Amino acid sequence: MEYLVSSAEMTRLDESARERYGIPGIVLMEHAALQAWRSIAALKPARVSVVAGPGNNGGDGLALARIAHVSGRCEVCVIEAGCERADPGSPAGVHYRSCRELGIRLIPFRDAERDARSCMCESDIVVDAILGTGLTSAVREVVRQLIDVISCARTAGAEVVSLDMPSGLRDRASAPEDSVAADRTLTFGWAKHILYTPWGRSRSGDIISLDIGFPQQLEADLSEPRVVLAAHEDLGDFLSTVPQSAHKGVRGHVAVCAGSVGMTGAARLCCEAAIRSRAALVTLVSETIPEGLSASIMTRFAPDLPEGMNGVTRSIDALLIGPGWGCDVARANTLLKLLTCARRGVIDADGLAALKDAGRMQLGDWVLTPHPAEAARLADCSTDEVLVDPLRIGGFLASQYGCTVVIKAETTHVIAADGRVVVVDGHIAALACGGSGDVLAGVIAGILAAGGSSFDAAVAGVLAHAEAGRRLFRSRGWFAADELPGEISRVLAGVSEGEQGNHGPTATE
């Protein structure tokens, strides 16, 4: 796991490195440029254009241009996007003078836009070093023009590499704004949270964190609560242990209230995912029972859903409500009654619409799993606000409902009512298929039923879901949602990719 920081926090940490630990800013800049050049040099470019702005981000780019030029491994040009106005005594000003004295080609964008455009479009790599973490408002017109030219160069075949973050991205925007679309983002020190918002992730390409020499002691200065980026390797940290001696009464029982006439697929996917996610027992309670359910899934036909729950004789360890339910106005009252049947569970899809109609309440050990549009409806905001600031919107919902909230998108934010945040980088187009969210809800419910906190179950479910999607795409290409539960079972059991598992001794052994 690694920490994600806001732009403001990164500025504070950078200042602390200089003032508290005596590390000059120009030294950090030199390390950043050197590490970035090593990453770019591995691509073996013949021509590199560096678009350099007036601040420290431009200074990183100018230092990189100098290092690339001195290496003699490629032709370098610098597009002046404000770097020519840098204070001569500043780190950016020092590196600008060095580039000029070394004879690196300098092209002023304002006065020679045609030459700048030609240079970028003929380059193998265009380095975006215009704006970094200091941006506090939408970009000005000249930067918007630069973004357009960089986009044209990308269309012409250049690979765009952004330093620290794609220019134009910023914290606390209220909607997606103009920004560079990078193929690769080389971020310095701690990765920036804005890169892992749904909007930022779509602009950042491959994200690579580079160590540029910030002292390890600075980690103690990170603000609380800390935003953590988790990967598949961290899955075990969020799963409770299931002993080998566990019987079905220990592994948990999931009751699923999902599906309606004409919408049975969601119920089937939820149940299949739950039974393959460590839960021992799954009961579907629905007004319509789908065909093709696993024989191990119990069913109860319940035209009147709240009363139908009376027939579920086993205690419920987790209750999943909502997928394929439909949006009948009476669902809000049904939801309120169902919430009394279990102390924990998952509310998804149409259950979230019912929750909105039922009004805000403190849910406790429950998990809400909205996509951005559902989160926007619950929070009375726009979907764009969720895409650019899921941390703020998710935090608001977690506080208002007193529970764990999972905002699922290209990157997924899991936010606890106490402020804990884990981000999971999905970035898997194949997971964007019908029914994928129903499977995720079932996975979380299955893990929750087997024990552990709702927050840990939510993180584990998201991690397992994402890893299964990656594995399936690598092995099969595009897939349907009903292929996910089987692979999720393997992920949760710790079966490595490609491993067939131990089926016991053969007859000849």
Report the chain's mean pLDDT, rounded to a whole number: 93
Whole-structure pTM value:
0.93
Using a 10 angstrom Cβ sphere, with 0-12 exposed, 13-18 middle and 19 or more buried, the burial of residue 240 is middle
**Residue 312 to residues 252, 282, 453, Cα–Cα distance (Å):** 14, 11, 24
Give residue 500's pLDDT.
Answer: 57
User: Does some domain include residue 465?
Assistant: yes
Which strands, in side-by-side order, build the sheet including 227-230?
A: 191-192, 2-5, 227-230, 421-425, 411-415, 404-407, 366-368, 345-347, 318-321, 253-257, 281-286, 297-301
Q: Which tens digits make up the pLDDT trace of 5-21? A: 999 999 999 999 999 99
* Domain assignment present for 499: no
Between 296 and 78, the higher pLDDT residue = 78
Which of 170, 190, 223 is where one domain is finished?
223
The CA distance from 328 to 325, in Å, is 8
Same domain, 13 and 132: yes
Distance (Å, whole) CA 326 – CA 349:
9
Is 160 part of any domain?
Answer: yes
Predicted local confidence at residue 119, as pLDDT: 97
257 sits in which H/E element = strand 253-257
Q: Is 129 helix (H, G, I), strand (E, B) or coil?
A: strand
My answer on whether 214 and 310 are in the same domain is no
Do residues 253 and 151 share a domain? Answer: no
Total number of domains constituting the chain:
2
CATH, residue 326: 3.40.1190.20
Q: Is residue 441 part of a domain?
A: yes
What CA–CA distance (Å, rounded) separates 356 from 360?
7
For 200-244, write each residue's pLDDT tens digit.
999 999 999 999 999 989 988 888 889 999 999 999 999 987 767
- What's the CA gap between 399 and 356, in Å, rounded? 15
Q: Are residues 165 and 282 in the same domain?
A: no
Residue 62 lies in a domain: yes
Amino acid at 477: G
Q: Tell me the pairing of strands 421-425 and 411-415.
A: antiparallel
Kindly state the average pLDDT of the residues 437-451: 96
Write down the pLDDT at residue 307. Answer: 75
pLDDT digits (tens, 9 = 90+) for 122-164: 999 999 999 999 899 999 999 999 999 999 999 999 999 999 9
Q: Pick the residue with more confidence: 502 or 281?
A: 281
Assess if residue 190 is contained within a domain: yes
Answer yes or no: do 344 and 202 share one domain: no
Same domain (yes/no): 196, 243: no
For tokens 């909607």, name the residue: 175
Number of Cβ within 10 Å of residue 382's Cβ equals 15
Residue 364 — very low, low, confident or very high, per pLDDT cuts 50/70/90? very high
Are 217 and 242 in the same domain? no
pLDDT greater than 80 at residue 350? yes
How confident is residue 245, by pLDDT bands cut at 50, 70 and 90? low
Last residue of a domain, one of 183, 205, 223: 223
Of 176, 192, 223, the one marking the end of a domain is: 223
CATH code at 108? 3.40.50.10260
Asked if residue 506 belongs to a domain, the reply is no
Segments forming the whole domain that contains residue 326: 233-492
Distance CA 271, CA 258 (A): 9
Same domain for 266 and 386, yes or no, is yes
Q: Are residues 175 and 238 in the same domain?
A: no
Asked whether residue 498 is assigned to any structural domain, the reply reads no
pLDDT score, position 504: 36
Residue 305 and residue 327 share a domain: yes
Provide the 3-class DSSP secondary structure of residue 500: coil
The answer on 241 and 219 residing in a single domain is no
> pLDDT value at position 445?
98
Do 183 and 281 fall into the same domain? no
Q: Which two tokens stand for residue 477?
A: 């290409």
The amino acid sitting at 429 is: A
